[in-house]
Structure 1
Amino acid sequence: VPLMPPSNAAQAERLAGVLADSGARVWLTSSAVAGRLPAHDPVVVVDELTGPGADPVFADPETPAYLQYTSGSTREPAGAVIPHRAIVAACWQGGRAYAVDEGTTCAGWIPFFHDMGLIQLLCLPVFAGGRAVFMSPAEFVHRPRRWLRQLADYPAVFTAAPNFAYDLAADAGAEDGLDLSDVRVALNGAEPVRPATGERFLEVFGPHGFRREAYRPSYGLAEATVYVASAGPEGPRGAVFDREALAQGHAVETVDGQELVSVGRPVGQRVRIVHDGHEQPDGAVGEIWIHGPNVATGYWGRGDATAFGATLDGLDGWLRTGDLGVVHRGDLYVTGRLKDLIVIDGRNFHPQDIEAAAGEAHPAVRRDRVAAFGVTDDDGEGAVVVAEWARGAEADVKEVTRAVLRAVSAEHGLTLRRVHLVPSGGLPRTSSGKVARSAAKARYGGDRG
């Protein structure tokens, strides 16, 4: 069970929950971390081991390799059972999609308790025979330019990071002499990919050799080990869709509307758009279903989980992702979360679209720390936005609130019920750094202040 050492009370509580759910009996850790762990026996400090240890054991492809606990941004954390064959499949898929081979340097800072760090930055280079270079997440957060220097220092680089990392890097800017011409692939995934992020990153780092086709928006989830789909070697694509049609479940291109980034096409698995148990044609919005060797066998100890085991195309074992999407001109677009969908007066609003508008409304709003959710009270259905105040920002609260209200109204025709501006760090987050909407709703949804 890949886990992070707890550094605060919330992380310690989550760790205790995972331990109780998984039934783990032995700790494997390093000497640097051992002292931070709660009392537990036995503990194996791996960097203090001497000798070869036990003989290798043959692993059946269908036996569990590890449990990947979901981040909890959309549900209580649950351990996806990842069998050995799924690791091999995910590495093959990633190697094929991103052309990772023995000459590739996989470089990054994503921690190994996160599926992206574990598979894309650790297992993939081992599978492909390439090289792996790491830095700590704390180093990146405090000095985003160090990530860019890391990418510039090695040949034939593949890297992977969530959307907010590309925003932080663009905000930090480029150093003189930076050369990113040998970055082959920069994967953007693990959270919604925003159109403005890629354009800003390319604007800042294009003059320093970063090629547009190296930027690869991607889609994946823990229940599929990590990889589902990605942009190809041609680089990022996108489309502008009519907002009203999209809200009614249809993707219709227009000149002025909702811009979405394509997450490309799947490799080594089947992806379908499904509504009411039936596959949908191109252009129709529905739930994303996945079938392939990379799909987990279920959640640990939860045999009745409805996410696994659906039937389609005469095949059992489809994964219902809970994500909404649409296939347009052969490309997959992720439009939102089924459970997070905000419905007001019969219209569908995707939280990440509202969050994107609010995040760009004013410099005092931290663009990657915004939560939008629906509320139902005596006044009917409505939407609420909670946004973190950017560090060091100085602005009038009423001015920022009005800017958020105007931006959401102008882009989505939606009048927000409330806007809460909270201090930096005030929004609850998952272990992987995503804003936890359900926890934000529980904390702020009933607050009329």
Structure 2
Amino acid sequence: MAARMAARFPRGARIGVIAETSPEFVITFMACQYSGLVPAPLSLPAAFGGRQTYEWQVSSMVRTAGLSAIFAPPALHEILSSATAGQDIELFDLSGATLPDETVGPVPHGAGDLSYIQFSSGSTSEPKGIVATQASLSANCKAIIQEGLQVRAGDRAVSWLPLYHDMGLVGFFIAPMYSQLSIDFLSPTDFARRPGTWLKLISANKGTLSYSPSFGYELCVRRFRGEPLDLSSWRAAGIGGDMVRADALDQFSETFAASGFRKEAFVASYGLAESTLAVSFAPLNTGLNIDRVDVARMQASERAVPASDLTREGADRAFVSCGKPLESTELKIVDPEGSELGLRQVGRIFIRSASLASGYFRADQELQPLTDKDGWLDTGDLGYWLADEIVVTGRSKDMILSNGRNIWPQDIEWVAQKIGGRTVARSAAFEMRDTADTSRIVLLVECRAQEAELRETLARDIAAAARSMAGAPVSVELVSIKSLPVTSSGKLSRAASRTAYISGLMHQAVGDSATRAAALP
């Protein structure tokens, strides 16, 4: 297939590849590597939840990266044709069956060549195509294999992660291939329908390495019906791709302890596509390193002050250390003026590494730099040093400013989880500015309860507790399950939630099932 692709496309051409979890995707992606082409994994329609949104995303990705062709399952050709109407692009079967038979000797990539394009998973902005080189990919895979997971003979990887996301593509396709590991794949759709299948694969095939965002572990707990499992082989149960939630992981370890799962197997890590994937790993075989901080003092002073007996009940928060940066990665935390901060001082996270991507494509198709003149990348994340380990506290763009204090939306969302328990699912907190330039905090909460009286009581209780946590009034609105927008990788999108709320789409989605609690004075 590489020889046929080399005959059809000029070296360096950028090729979209629908990243379904299948042998055809793996073959096509690797054929691009062998023929000197640059593949761009594209998500499936289910990741965006609607045809119109998906078509807009695909059209933007094609324009952003200057794609020459898309390889896709035949069932998607009609929607892709519609999405790319008016653009000079060809569609081919994902299997390569519709490629011409002509072949030429393929010329693989060199170390400095582009390897692939990783699109950001944002759901409201123009997609950004992050460009990894062969050198940056190799550097990160080497660090993951040797330092992060310390891969050894007999390891076996298991993954349900989407292959259009960096954690699935690099962490559980390319890196295991580098170290010649067997990988058992489960599609994200199958995982969402039957999360227990993930654990059954690990149990049946003696999987040792597998990762998930926190919500994946939470879903397994919610759907578990006591099936017999043997998870004793699972030595590295990684958490990444989103904020690490200690409560959800505690529930998982308690639920599956009888199945042989060890809480020491948890490995928290931090990464981002701009760094190919991995930035830091917690030590193996130690479990979660939890740091409980006083939320009020953190909001007031930008310091992660440890919680104590004097901390008001419910005013502490558990953060999880993501371990030490990889040896090839420099990391610093800075204040708004760019000065480096010390231990427990919260600031913006910057990294410098051999694993950094070469740049990114935006709408003008020109490769834009990622870093400043000294090679430092502003990750957009906030965090602090806990000894020599990094703790990530959230995204700077999601921060809520109220009465001169910085409030993490996760703190407010955590209140909804604590009060509502299993009655609630996702929640999204954000700041709203009114026409008079006054601001208020809004908390949207997905709620399973149907009884009007129960919903009203729940909304009032959450509003009262959220006001206590935030030190400011909070408007709470209960919405339908699965109504809050998520990115293509499954992360909650607060920006998209805010946009939907402002435009009235959220109210249309929930209809009569919405329940509101006015901001408490």
Query: Per the alignment, do residues 376 and 304 of structure 1 end up closer, same or farther by CA in structure 2, a change over 3 Å counting?
Result: farther
Aligned to 1:291: 352
CA distance in 1, matches of 2:76, 2:439: 47
Aligned to 2:372: 310
Query: Per the alignment, do residues 2 and 392 of structure 1 end up closer, same or farther by CA in structure 2, a change over 3 Å counting?
Result: farther
> How many angstroms does 1:31 deviate by?
4.8
Query: Per the alignment, do residues 431 and 412 of structure 1 end up closer, same or farther by CA in structure 2, a change over 3 Å counting?
Result: same
Q: Give the stretch that moved more between structures: 393-402 or 276-285.
A: 393-402
CA distance in 1, matches of 2:74, 2:238: 32
Aligned to 2:324: 265
CA distance in 2, matches of 1:89, 1:211: 31
Query: Residue by residue, what CA displacement relative to the aligned partner does 1:74-115 show, whole Å, maximum 9, x if unpaired?
Result: 854211111111211221122120122452211111110111
Query: Does residue 250 in structure 1 map to residue 309 in structure 2?
Result: no
> How many angstroms does 1:409 deviate by?
3.1
Match of residue 91, structure 2, among 43, 46, 49: 43
> How many angstroms does 1:150 deviate by?
0.9
> How many angstroms does 1:413 deviate by?
3.5
CA distance in 1, matches of 2:62, 2:445: 32
- Aligned partner of residue 462 in structure 2, secondary structure: helix
Q: Counterpart of 1:277 in structure 2: which amino acid?
A: G
CA distance in 2, matches of 1:54, 1:241: 61
CA distance in 2, matches of 1:199, 1:232: 18
Aligned to 2:142: 92
CA distance in 2, matches of 1:27, 1:239: 46
Bigger helix share: 2
Aligned to 2:192: 141
Q: Is the 8 A contact 1:325 1:336 kept in 2?
A: yes
Query: Does residue 440 in structure 1 map to residue 501 in structure 2?
Result: no
Match of residue 287, structure 2, among 235, 238, 247: 235
Q: Compute the RMSD of aligned alpha carbons.
A: 2.5
Match of residue 387, structure 2, among 329, 352, 357: 329
> How many angstroms does 1:176 deviate by?
3.5
> How many angstroms does 1:397 deviate by?
2.4
Aligned to 2:70: 27
CA distance in 2, matches of 1:55, 1:232: 45
State which structure, 1 or 2, has the greater radius of gyration over its C-alpha atoms: 2
Query: Does residue 404 in structure 1 map to residue 404 in structure 2?
Result: no
Aligned to 1:342: 400
CA distance in 2, matches of 1:393, 1:33: 41
> How many angstroms does 1:393 deviate by?
8.3
Q: Counterpart of 2:371 in structure 1: which amino acid?
A: G
Query: Residue by residue, what CA displacement relative to the aligned partner does 1:39-79 show, whole Å, maximum 9, x if unpaired?
Result: 56533324254999553424232322111111115854211
Aligned to 1:362: 420
Aligned to 1:77: 127
Aligned to 1:18: 61
Q: Give the stretch that moved more between structures: 334-343 or 406-415.
A: 406-415
Q: Which structure 1 segments of 5+ residues have no match?
A: none
Identity %: 31
Aligned to 2:273: 222
Query: Per the alignment, do residues 289 and 53 of structure 1 end up closer, same or farther by CA in structure 2, a change over 3 Å counting?
Result: farther
Query: Per the alignment, do residues 198 and 144 of structure 1 end up closer, same or farther by CA in structure 2, a change over 3 Å counting?
Result: same
CA distance in 1, matches of 2:389, 2:492: 27
> How many angstroms does 1:428 deviate by?
1.8
> How many angstroms does 1:235 deviate by?
1.9
Q: Is the 8 A contact 2:361 2:367 kept in 1?
A: no
Question: What are the within-5 Å matches in structure 2 for residues 58-77 of structure 1?
Answer: 58-72=108-122, 75-77=125-127
CA distance in 2, matches of 1:237, 1:174: 29
> How many angstroms does 1:181 deviate by?
0.2
Q: Counterpart of 2:432 in structure 1: which amino acid?
A: V
Query: Does residue 389 in structure 1 map to residue 473 in structure 2?
Result: no
> How many angstroms does 1:361 deviate by?
2.1
Query: Residue by residue, what CA displacement relative to the aligned partner does 1:138-169 show, whole Å, maximum 9, x if unpaired?
Result: 11111111111011112352111111101101
CA distance in 1, matches of 2:382, 2:103: 47
- Aligned partner of residue 190 in structure 2, secondary structure: helix
> How many angstroms does 1:445 deviate by?
4.1
Query: Residue by residue, what CA displacement relative to the aligned partner does 1:322-377 show, whole Å, maximum 9, x if unpaired?
Result: 0000011222111121111101001110112212222332146533x211111222
CA distance in 2, matches of 1:354, 1:69: 30
Aligned to 2:35: none
Q: How many residues end up aligned between the 2 structures?
A: 442
CA distance in 2, matches of 1:15, 1:393: 41
Q: Is the 8 A contact 1:323 1:336 kept in 2?
A: yes
- Aligned partner of residue 66 in structure 1, secondary structure: strand
> How many angstroms does 1:227 deviate by?
0.9
Q: Counterpart of 1:287 in structure 2: which amino acid?
A: R
- Aligned partner of residue 105 in structure 2, secondary structure: coil
Match of residue 203, structure 1, among 254, 259, 264: 254
CA distance in 1, matches of 2:261, 2:106: 43
Query: Residue by residue, what CA displacement relative to the aligned partner does 1:111-138 show, whole Å, maximum 9, x if unpaired?
Result: 1011111011110110111111101111
Q: Counterpart of 1:69 in structure 2: which amino acid?
A: F
> How many angstroms does 1:310 deviate by?
2.4
Q: Is the 8 A contact 1:31 1:47 kept in 2?
A: no
- Aligned partner of residue 80 in structure 2, secondary structure: coil
Question: What are the within-5 Å matches in structure 2 for residues 413-432 of structure 1?
Answer: 413-416=471-474, 418-432=475-489
Q: Is the 8 A contact 1:264 1:332 kept in 2?
A: yes
CA distance in 2, matches of 1:373, 1:366: 18
